[in-house]
Amino acid sequence: MRHDIVIIGGGIIGSSIAYHLANAGAGDVAVIERDPTYEIAATPRGSGGIRQLFSLPENVAMTRHGLPFYECFDEIMAVDGESPAISFRRQGYLFVSDGGDAATMEANFRNQETLGVAAELLDGPALERLFPSIRADDVDIAVYSPNDAWIDAYAALQGFRRKARSLGVTYLQDEVATAEITDGKVGAILCASGERIEADLFVLATGAWSGEVGHLFGVDLPVEPMSRESYFFRCEAELEPLPFIKSETDLAFRPEGAGYTGGVPDWSVPAGWNWELDPNRFEEVVWPALAHRVPAMETLRMERGWRGHYARNSLDKSAIIGRWEGEPANLFIATGFSGHGIMHAPATGLAMAELILGGRFETMDLARFGTGRILRREPYAEMGIV
């Protein structure tokens, strides 16, 4: 079998790249995805948040591309008059400095202002006035970004996939098992089914599996799975509409339907796959953190929990986007998105399509997220809450 471009991994990143390539008139594009139900992929397990509150200009620019894209997503991705429904909800993000690093949050806020982000810097009393259910007596500052949003990420993935297929992209259900590399280039990949697929170029977009899959190409990517617990819970009291709240002390949650979704990630967990829910973590860590920040959450009911895995770039926790600058020379990489791959999927798809088809980034310059820094071991890291 032969295609012009083969994308390995059909999550939201691979599917956005496929859509953008097809939309730009690329030739014959195929996506190899081993599990079309995406049962353990990161995309359906993510929180779907879209925020501009970053320190790196590339991250801000990628979100500022993604926000209007997702706002119009249902229209852009319509196929035969049928639209996906990604439930785009513009209810804002709130960063809370309660861990002693207000100076960094304020410096990031000033930088965000210069990059055009319409955020507000709040002290404790101003925060309590805006969101009366939030306890702010131990908050140094907060940054509120009212134009930020969240979406249903699984619906977005399905939207990209369906639209890409309607534009001629082939999705193959298979697992890439090995690669044939000759004269510094990938000639073909071999799949678990025995299928051999040739292409001019290959794109690696396998999320938290990218470290393992990179090795099939002789490429050493510092990407490892980092397991995170999430929960859905209901609060008895009716609260004002809250934004997506993230604190320096790692509490992260947002409204979801008639309840809330979120948790307190444990950044100290060693890299690796872990699907086991800790039976005590919600009671001992998450609930107290929620009840501290929102006293009305003293009374709540946790209904379910689940785990998902970040694709964590151990060099600098930033995304890796670009052509592999070593060998094989016809391999492109889009991975290492930690907790940002949903919000940055539209920008990544567009940027990769520009790079693959035109040889350079046009809309956003993402060169500093390129693979050269990985080869040189030069970190390019976010300063704010990751």
Ligand X SMILES: Cc1cc2nc3c(=O)[nH]c(=O)nc-3n(C[C@H](O)[C@H](O)[C@H](O)COP(=O)(O)OP(=O)(O)OC[C@H]3O[C@@H](n4cnc5c(N)ncnc54)[C@H](O)[C@@H]3O)c2cc1C
Quick check: 161 binds ligand X (CB under 6 A)? Answer: no
CB closer to ligand X, 93 vs 109: 93
Using the contact rule CB under 6 A, the part of the chain among 270-278, 283-291, 303-311, 324-332 near ligand X is 303-311
> What are the tokens at 2?
């032969």
Indicate the DSSP class of residue 286.
I
Nearest distance in Å: CB 69, ligand X: 13
> Could you say whether residue 255 binds ligand X (CB under 6 A)?
no
Taking CB under 6 A as the binding criterion, the range among 267-275, 290-298, 304-312, 370-378 that sits at the site for ligand X is 304-312
- Window contacting ligand X (CB under 6 A); options: 43-51, 71-79, 137-145, 284-292: 43-51
Among 162, 309, 317, 373, binds ligand X (CB under 6 A): 309
The answer to the question of residue 48 lying near ligand X (CB under 6 A) is yes
Contact between 58 and ligand X by CB under 6 A: the answer reads: no
Give the CB-side neighbour count of residue 157, counting CA atoms within 13 A.
23
Backbone φ and ψ for 340, nearest 5 degrees, come out as: -130, 10
Question: Rounded to whole angstroms, how far apart are CA atoms 293 and 304?
Answer: 21
Is residue 113 at the binding interface for ligand X, with CB under 6 A as the rule?
Answer: no
Query: Would you state the structure tokens that stand for residue 65, as one six-digit string?
Result: 């591309």
- List the one residue from 38, 69, 282, 332 that touches ligand X (CB under 6 A): 38
Q: How many residues bind ligand X (CB under 6 A)?
A: 41
Among 225, 328, 341, 384, interactor with ligand X by CB under 6 A? 341
Does position 339 interact with ligand X (CB under 6 A)? The reply is yes
Piece of 68-76, 118-126, 141-149, 341-349 that binds ligand X (CB under 6 A)? 341-349
Do the Cβ atoms of 311 and 336 come closer than 8 Å? yes
Q: Are 231 and 302 in contact (CB under 8 A)?
A: yes
CB-based contact 82:99 (threshold 8 Å): no
Please tell me whether residue 308 binds ligand X under the rule CB under 6 A: yes
Nearer to ligand X, 124 or 225 (CB): 225
Minimum distance, C-beta of residue 310 to ligand X, in the bound complex (Å): 5
Give the β-pairing of 170-173 and 244-247.
unpaired
Identify the CA nearest to 10 among candidates 180, 164, 120, 121: 164
State the amino acid at position 367 in one-letter form: A
Please state whether beta strands 201-204 and 331-335 pair in parallel, antiparallel, or not at all (unpaired).
parallel
Query: Of 21, 26, 77, 343, which lies in the binding site for ligand X, with binding defined by CB under 6 A?
Result: 343
Is 32 a residue that touches ligand X (CB under 6 A)? yes
Contact (CB, 8 A) for 286 and 264: yes
> Which residues partner with 229 through β-bridges?
307
Restricting to residues 167-206, name those near ligand X by CB under 6 A: 175-176, 205-206
Smallest distance from ligand X to CB 172, Å: 9
Distance CA 72, CA 80 (A): 17
CA distance 46 to 150: 11
Of 185, 191, 190, 207, which is closest to residue 324 (Cα–Cα)? 185
Kindly tell me which residue out of 6, 7, 12, 22 binds ligand X, with binding defined by CB under 6 A: 12
- For residue 218, the number of C-alpha atoms closer than 13 Å in the C-beta half-sphere is 14
Measured from the CB atom, the residue of 122 and 347 that comes closer to ligand X is 347
Q: List residues near ligand X by CB under 6 A.
A: 8-14, 32-35, 38, 41-43, 45-49, 175-176, 205-209, 213, 228, 230, 308-311, 335, 337, 339-343
